[in-house]
Amino acid sequence: MINKDQLVEIGKYILQGLSQDEAAILINVNPADLRESPSVKNFLEKQAIEFKLAHLKEIQAKKSSNSSQWLLEKLRPDEFGSKAKDTGTNINIISQIIHSIQNGEAKSKLAPTNRGELEQGREEDDNIRVLDVLN
């Protein structure tokens, strides 16, 4: 069973960014004990929400297009998330074909022959996705 002092200590760690389980481990409490009482669950959930709120206020106080974009993507991924995630494979294949044709490459990148080529192809895919997002 967890006592009030331990619960307050866990709450302080949560406000600093640790998860409930991490905070419990730091003060030698079994993380499973945090799930026994509804009032303990509610307190710890409130602490986690206060942590999030403090950081959201910080992001909003320093308004910039990058922080706004990040915030919208995280809070509303259906509306503001990257569209490239949904169609990544199709875009990558088409982009690789176009890239191969433009560079006059004799060897297709669509079928890598070894692990090195596969890794290089993945890096190029990531670069293409970043360029698509930026444009």
Instruction: Answer positive or negative: Cα dihedral of 11, 16, 21, 25.
Output: negative
Read off the pTM: 0.52
Q: Phi, psi (5° rounding) for residue 7? A: -65, -40
Please indicate, yes or no, whether residues 92 and 73 belong to a single structural domain of this protein: no
44 in Cβ contact with 11 (< 8 Å): yes
CA neighbours within 13 Å on the CB side: how many for 49? 6
Please indicate, yes or no, whether residues 49 and 66 belong to a single structural domain of this protein: yes
Of the candidate ranges 15-29, 52-66, 81-95, the one whose mean pLDDT is the lowest: 81-95
The residue among 10, 96, 14 whose CA lies nearest residue 48 is: 14
- Percentage, residues of the chain above pLDDT 70: 70
Please indicate, yes or no, whether residues 45 and 90 belong to a single structural domain of this protein: no
Report how many domains make up the chain: 2
Please indicate, yes or no, whether residues 10 and 61 belong to a single structural domain of this protein: yes
Q: What is the pLDDT of residues 44-59, one digit of tens each?
A: 999 999 998 888 888 8
Mean pLDDT over 76-93 rounds to: 67
Which range marks the domain in which residue 127 is found?
Answer: 83-134
Please indicate, yes or no, whether residues 69 and 125 belong to a single structural domain of this protein: no
CA–CA–CA angle 79, 85, 102 (5° rounding)? 125
Please indicate, yes or no, whether residues 46 and 98 belong to a single structural domain of this protein: no
Alpha-carbon distance 92 to 25, whole Å?
Answer: 44
Please indicate, yes or no, whether residues 69 and 23 belong to a single structural domain of this protein: yes
Please indicate, yes or no, whether residues 54 and 73 belong to a single structural domain of this protein: yes
Of the candidate ranges 61-65, 93-97, 127-131, the one whose mean pLDDT is the lowest: 127-131
pLDDT for residue 86: 54
Please indicate, yes or no, whether residues 89 and 76 belong to a single structural domain of this protein: no
pLDDT for residue 91: 62
Please indicate, yes or no, whether residues 65 and 107 belong to a single structural domain of this protein: no
